[in-house]
């Protein structure tokens, strides 16, 4: 909070959370103390990616699958309406493929 004040930033204490990344078998006494106004959480969403404290990404994978399912349904509806194969390919690249490929290098 002191750093934010020095850099002329404000914290939204209703939404601000602290996510601590740590290696396995590291005891809790090495962690910094919890700030009273900021909640500590096990996972958080940042730039569209769900991060977990143990560097696993199951929630992010579930989120991507759910969004892609919705977008593939839209693609199927467009196909039923008679949209051409080239247009369907463009829509697939624009709304489905970009979601699948976003951050995939980080997660692998």
Query: Of 13, 11, 25, 24, which Cα lies nearest the Cα of 52?
Result: 24
Residues 31-69 pLDDT 10s:
555 566 666 677 777 777 787 877 777 888 888 889 999
- What is the H or E stretch that residue 45 is in? strand 43-46
Please count the other Cβ atoms lying within 10 Å of the Cβ belonging to residue 51.
20
What letter would DSSP give residue 97? I
Q: Where are the domains of the chain?
A: 2-52, 58-107
- Average pLDDT (12-16) is 66
Does pLDDT of 18 surpass 60? no
User: Residue 70's pLDDT band (boundaries 50, 70, 90)?
Assistant: very high
Phi, psi angle pair for 28, to nearest 5° = -70, -20
Please count the other Cβ atoms lying within 10 Å of the Cβ belonging to residue 12.
6
């Amino acid at each position: 909070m002191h750093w934010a004040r020095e850099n002329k930033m404000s914290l939204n204490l209703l939404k601000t959370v602290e996510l601590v990344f740590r290696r396995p078998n590291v005891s809790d006494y090495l962690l910094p103390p919890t700030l009273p106004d900021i909640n500590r959480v096990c996972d958080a969403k940042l730039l569209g990616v769900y991060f977990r404290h143990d560097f696993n990404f199951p929630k992010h994978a579930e989120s991507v699958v759910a969004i892609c399912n919705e977008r593939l349904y839209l693609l199927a509806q467009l196909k039923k309406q008679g949209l051409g194969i080239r247009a369907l390919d463009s829509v697939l690249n624009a709304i489905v493929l970009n979601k699948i490929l976003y951050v995939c290098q980080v997660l692998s």
